[in-house]
Amino acid sequence: MKKYKYAFLEPGRYARGWHIVLFSSELQVGEVKQLHYFGQDIVAYRGESGTVAILDAHCPHLGANLGSGEGRVRGDNIACPFHGWTFNATGQCVEIPYATSIPDKAVNALKGWPVLEKNGFIALWYATDGEDPEYYLPDIPEWGQPGWGDWVFYRSRIRAKPCDVIENIVDIAHFPHVHGGLVESWENRFDERSVTQLSTVKRDPNANMIIPPGVVFDLEEARKEAGNDADAWGDATYHGPSIMYYETESTSPQMNFKSWWVNCHTVVNDNEVDLCSAVMVSSLTDDPLPAEFAQLYPEMAHVAFSQDVEIWKDKVYREEPILCDGDGPVNKLRRWYEQFYLPHIKSGQQKTRTENRAGP
């Protein structure tokens, strides 16, 4: 069997942690969604109390998908559309309408996944060995506040590995080539379950930029409207293996605004990931943002994300990359990231396979 340098390259292994599978607005009360992540079929539904549950999709009886048809939510339970076996939000079988008793084996036969709904998104906790969830995902204080709308999000499925995506957080050298940006300052901070990039990046009209297919507006013009000379800062943090928050403020004579982005990737199988970029924006003053700008801004943010996607979808992963002194801490990121694929040792004692290797 092939020996991989990092555990996250081994087929069939997925990162322990929280992964966003839906935004809250995508799942109404009584609605059931069939999903496919981590190489498995799962279903998400919102019960009548508003609580979201995520279960393995296939019924332990004769294998129907609990989301087939339109799905059948009953209170906070879900009934299989085939013969009506009914499961609660943790996956326990609570009723078989045509049986006098529930077989012992059926009671706990269906797996229920830990779910966290906050900040307007729905995340599930993935852990192969049943490790308990860790509650490291912070609140986004502005979510749901007056003046802030809901997330505007775009999702796409591409052929890539999660490890291709996450390296963006330390990749300082791609800005002038992919995003047309001039990096003025840059720092990466590593914590136990998070990695942050603090940066100030200015638009450089002489730099290259990728124009993703399907962009229907003039990127240059749109940026001018946001204030080319804007004084802007942004902090991006991966909280765990796949969810990145980006908080940014921009002040200029034309416009003063704050925005939050959530960029996330959720692994579908060994070869594909779902990418999602979500944005909400609000004025920093009492004057509301011009409606046109409020609409354009999430599209611009999505284009910035799509510039990276254009690279990710066609690249290969180099296990032993040749790096230079201008690169960000790529190998350090890889060692940090590998923790999510290794057995969980107590907080602070995580051992990685590669921790003794030298290099940035």
**CA–CA distances in Å: residue 334 to residues 338, 345, 353:** 6, 18, 11
Q: What is the Cα 56 distance to its own chain's centre?
A: 20
**CA–CA distances in Å: residue 294 to residues 26, 152, 236:** 21, 10, 21
Is 177 strand, coil or helix? Answer: helix
Tell me which stretch binds Fe ion (CB under 5 A): 6-14, 163-171, 208-216, 291-299: 163-171
Specify the residue for token string 């940066």.
199
- Min dist CB 122 to ligand FES, Å, is 24
308 binds, among ligand FES, Fe ion, none (CB under 5 to 8 A by kind): Fe ion
Provide the 10 A C-beta neighbour count for residue 156. Answer: 14
| Contact status: 164 vs Fe ion (CB under 5 A) | no
- Min dist CB 22 to ligand FES, Å, is 23
- Min dist CB 311 to ligand FES, Å, is 44
What is the C-alpha end-to-end distance of the chain, expressed in Å?
29
Q: CB burial class (10 A; 0-12, 13-18, 19+) of residue 162?
A: buried
Residues 315-354 that bind Fe ion (CB under 5 A): none
C-alpha span between 173 and 22 (Å, rounded): 32
| Contact status: 167 vs Fe ion (CB under 5 A) | no
C-alpha span between 123 and 26 (Å, rounded): 13
Shorter beta-carbon distance to ligand FES: residue 97 or 130: 97
Give the residues lining the site for ligand FES (CB under 6 A): 59, 61-64, 80, 82-85
Shorter beta-carbon distance to ligand FES: residue 53 or 59: 59
- Min dist CB 45 to ligand FES, Å, is 15
Shorter beta-carbon distance to ligand FES: residue 60 or 133: 60
Identify the DSSP state of 157. E
| Contact status: 308 vs Fe ion (CB under 5 A) | yes
- Min dist CB 168 to Fe ion, Å, is 5
Shorter beta-carbon distance to Fe ion: residue 64 or 215: 215
Tell me which stretch binds Fe ion (CB under 5 A): 105-113, 167-175, 180-188, 273-281: 167-175
Shorter beta-carbon distance to ligand FES: residue 55 or 163: 55
Tell me which stretch binds Fe ion (CB under 5 A): 25-33, 80-88, 162-170, 282-290: 162-170
- Min dist CB 75 to ligand FES, Å, is 17
Shorter beta-carbon distance to ligand FES: residue 82 or 136: 82
**CA–CA distances in Å: residue 358 to residues 217, 279, 330:** 46, 38, 12
Identify the DSSP state of 133. P
Count CA atoms closer than 13 A to 126's CA, side-chain side. 25
- Min dist CB 303 to ligand FES, Å, is 44
C-alpha span between 217 and 299 (Å, rounded): 9
C-alpha span between 84 and 346 (Å, rounded): 42
Shorter beta-carbon distance to Fe ion: residue 168 or 196: 168
61 binds, among ligand FES, Fe ion, none (CB under 5 to 8 A by kind): ligand FES
Do residues 298 and 152 lie in contact, with contact meaning Cβ atoms separated by under 8 Å? yes
Q: Which residues bind Fe ion (CB under 5 A)?
A: 168, 308
